[in-house]
Structure 1
């Protein structure tokens, strides 16, 4: 079963300095039909204008993965990390028993476009942790590139949950499949371009949940970048 979540149906807001879209209920947007999918709790697409950002704030008991599509994001946290997350880079932060951080556009003039993902951890009270990494774009051309996994397989970021995150970049008309083991589920998020699955076209910002299927088969309608979550 494949269920489409169109970009236009997401929640969100325009604060001037921030344009944000919420795939699942978040902040002041509440929809009991869209509270998350499996352990996937948040998929937020943010565009932060130059000089803007989120001042210091706290998180607890969440695995937070951030992917920058364009621009650069400044990060500081109570673990002592001060870094700049550039286009194409990933960050994993385990909030665990408590962490504070800030996220600011690293530029005074250019916007930063990013996705932030929250997953429920496999247990509460973990020690806070942090990773940041860029993955070679060539390794996801027409293929699934593992960027996060429970055991850090193949140099991927380690997340404390039975979930894996993949990226793929596809040329127009390219096809790609992903087998799903029995009892597994998937969420596909289109980051750029458009793809076709199950006879339906998904554009940038669209997503789809996949359950009770042996595979997910997609074809790029236009050059596309997609993110896939393999979930218990």
Structure 2
């Protein structure tokens, strides 16, 4: 099967200054071909919110899976309609919202003194009109240090959170030179690697903070890590680049 590889250097992302937050956007519908989406992966917004910032205010979402990965700092999630879905998450924490038939929410920096860096990730769901749902977890450093820790899957395997899409998401943080192989979960899958911090190499590309690398018909991806490499790998259903 023909394999396509696309490399997204960090400095080619779209930059937005919202005042309270500075963000680099890897995918958006208004961006050029190759940056609109990668299969069901439709957004990776890498944003840093100022201390005490109050976010966008209450705003709606519908028919999207909203994943927040806390790189540093602490987020406060506010859902005025379902108070049980409100709460805080700290680095390295993950929260998943199935917006389904509609939610209203806001995410604010819970610290008055420290900035908060978070990756806001959107996935297209498996179906429209699903029941809204919220879940979160804190990651144990022992589970992601010098190894890949699954954090998201469609069935909640291996202690992961559940996404309403056929996607597996793994996270790792490395403090040494290492080489590992990530095997895609099926014969016709897409992989997308996003460098959160540090440096490494994959598919012949040197990778640094904010870089992204996507492969269709991926098979197995060999990754060389340098000390302080930190990255996410999305394992996606049959994927085309838009």
Fold shared per TM-score above 0.5: yes
Distance in 2 of aligned mates of 1:25 and 1:9? 13
2:85 is aligned with 1:84: no
Moved more, 92-101 or 7-16: 7-16
Shift of 1:210: 1.2
Match for residue 58 of structure 1? 60
Contact 1:79–1:99 (CA under 8 A) maintained in structure 2:
no
2:113 is aligned with 1:109: yes
Contact 1:142–1:176 (CA under 8 A) maintained in structure 2:
no
Contact 1:120–1:161 (CA under 8 A) maintained in structure 2:
yes
**Aligned alpha-carbon RMSD (Å):** 1.3
Of the three residues 189, 197, 203, the one matched with 1:198 is 203
How far does the alpha carbon of each residue in 1:176-200 deviate from its partner, in whole angstroms, 9 at most, with x for none?
Answer: 1111231011100011111111232
Q: As a proportion of its length, which structure holds more strand?
A: 1
Contact 2:188–2:219 (CA under 8 A) maintained in structure 1:
no
Contact 1:24–1:31 (CA under 8 A) maintained in structure 2:
no
How far does the alpha carbon of each residue in 1:55-77 deviate from its partner, in whole angstroms, 9 at most, with x for none?
Answer: 10000000111011111111111
Distance in 1 of aligned mates of 2:128 and 2:218? 31
Shift of 1:143: 1.9
TM-score with structure 1 length normalisation? 0.95
3-state SS of 1:55 partner:
coil
Contact 2:180–2:222 (CA under 8 A) maintained in structure 1:
yes
2:184 is aligned with 1:182: no
Contact 1:92–1:132 (CA under 8 A) maintained in structure 2:
yes
State the aligned residue count: 230
Distance in 1 of aligned mates of 2:73 and 2:88? 10
Shift of 1:139: 1.2
3-state SS of 1:8 partner:
helix
Shift of 1:15: 3.1
Q: Which runs of 5+ in 1 are unaligned?
A: none
Distance in 2 of aligned mates of 1:150 and 1:73? 25
Structure 2 vs 1, CA of residues 33 and 184 (structure 1 numbering), >3 Å: closer, same or farther? Answer: closer
How far does the alpha carbon of each residue in 1:18-42 deviate from its partner, in whole angstroms, 9 at most, with x for none?
Answer: 110100116xx53343111010000
2:175 is aligned with 1:171: yes
Shift >2 Å, 4+ stretches:
29-33
Structure 2 vs 1, CA of residues 2 and 142 (structure 1 numbering), >3 Å: closer, same or farther? Answer: farther
2:235 is aligned with 1:230: yes
Match for residue 211 of structure 1? 216
Alignment of 1:16-95 (within 5 A): 16-25=19-28, 30-52=31-53, 53-77=55-79, 78-80=81-83, 81-95=85-99
